[in-house]
A = this chain, B = another copy of it.
Amino acid sequence: MTRVAAGSWQNCLKKMLFSSSSSSRTRKALSNLASPAHEQIIKSPPLVSLDIRDDIWPLHPSTGFDDLASFSIQEPSKGTKCTHIVYFEYIPIFDEPIVLATEQIGRVIDGKSIAERIRSGIASEVSMMKSSIGKVPGLAVILVGQRRDSQAYVRNKEAACKEVGIKFVMTKLHEKCTQDDICDALSKFNQNPAIHGIIVQLPLPEHLCEGKILDVLSLEKDVDGFNPMNMGNLAMQGREPLFIPCAPKGCIELLLWHNVKIMGKKAVVIGRSNLVGLPASLLLQRHQATVSIVHPFTKNPEQITREADIVVSAVGEPNLVRGSWLKRGAVVIDVGTYPVEDPRCEHGYRLTGDVCYEEAVRVASAITPVPGGVGPMTIAMLLSNTLESAKRTYNFFT
């Protein structure tokens, strides 16, 4: 790492950006920094397109930026504390180093604004569907009991559906309802052709068996992707699930929108829940990361996490992941949400993540806040899955 004199970074970039002798690769990388061009709404490619035959061992032409010469430049203006790191490759035949990528320490991954752009794209598609075939996607939610957090999540989903033009219907059931009550409600939605996605808001009261209830949910409408068939197809190379679970899909989208390279990176997923941790680990692996899964029986979780380039935490334990758990420059995706009593907030509580944000933001190259990180993305992915399901049903592909 060579540190360039303070004050010179903008000139340095500007010169390279507009210099006719700069390579097109350099210019593209730098102009992406200035105004990233995001044409697709959803950036995740089909998983099968990521599958690569594993029959060449060992395959070790070290990929990734870690092995390349790089230097960081302190941005002197605006009084910000963030640091831009520019990754160069030195190729003898060129006069100048080739810029491969740039990153900024402590960059906030703004899930809210990315989700907004995705929702706006979905709204256009829904509107196009309506005007073309007179149909809109439909999402059904089954809510059991009075949990405040569940109610808040459902409220957000309803608002998001309304915003993009997806039809939203809900069945509310009493906390003491039976397994059969839920299954009856599910069966009605399964049979309703105007409903393309069904979710049972989890967690359910303890007397109900989540697994058996979710098994009743039609595979073609399982927009949460929690059916074991979906999970198996997510895990297995050469296969494609009908739906990828929303929170993990949102995590990958955030990484892709921020141009984080996943292939060959060390990823640690903290938590192994069926809803987030497990599918997140499977999805990262399909994207060619080297994945380790940390859970309550892991010894030295901080040591394992400290080795990761990408950390996804999905536990629900406030401030579990401290700054000392992170490698400098790691990208941190905080899926944890934990309601903490706070009478100052509108609903009497606020949401806190797994990661001690104040500490982590000083170490990570990029980090999601809670709220405003994965949360809005999860809802955007639910809308996207519902839209995809409707498109499949009506064979409507633009």
Contacts and interface: CB of A to CB of B under 8 A. Distances in A.
B264 A238 contact: no
Contact of A57 (B211, B237, B263, B320): B320
Interface string A89-114: 00000000000000000000000000
Nearest to A274: B236
A227 B232 contact: yes
A296 interface: yes
A239 B228 contact: yes
A316 B62 CA distance: 22
Contacts of A288: 295, 297
Interface in A46-74: 52, 54-60, 62-64, 66
Q: In which size bucket is the chain A interface?
A: 35 or more
A228 B236 CA distance: 7
A230 interface: yes
Contacts of A194: none
Contact of A320 (B58, B64, B231, B264): B58
Contacts of A315: 54, 57
Contacts of A285: 272, 293, 295
Contacts of A317: 57-58
Given A57-B315, A229-B229, A264-B297, A237 B272 contact: yes
Contact of A229 (B228, B291, B297): B228
Contacts of A292: 290-293
Interface stretch (A4-12, A175-183, A298-306, A387-395): A298-306
A124 interface: no
How many copies of this chain does one complex carry? 2
Contact of A273 (B54, B230, B298): B54
A370 interface: no
Nearest to A304: B290
Contact of A230 (B232, B239, B272, B316): B232
A296 B57 contact: yes
A296 B236 contact: no
Interface string A276-291: 0010001001001011
B291 A56 contact: no
Contact of A56 (B63, B273, B290, B296): B296
26 contacts: A52-B296, A52-B297, A58-B317, A58-B320, A59-B296, A59-B297, A62-B299, A64-B299, A211-B238, A228-B235, A228-B239, A229-B232, A231-B235, A235-B278, A235-B282, A237-B272, A264-B298, A264-B299, A272-B285, A285-B293, A285-B295, A288-B295, A290-B294, A290-B295, A290-B299, A292-B292
Contacts of A66: 299
Nearest to A264: B297
A271 interface: yes
A330 B272 CA distance: 25
Given A64-B299, A232-B233, 9 more contacts: A54-B273, A57-B315, A58-B317, A58-B320, A62-B299, A232-B235, A235-B282, A236-B278, A237-B272
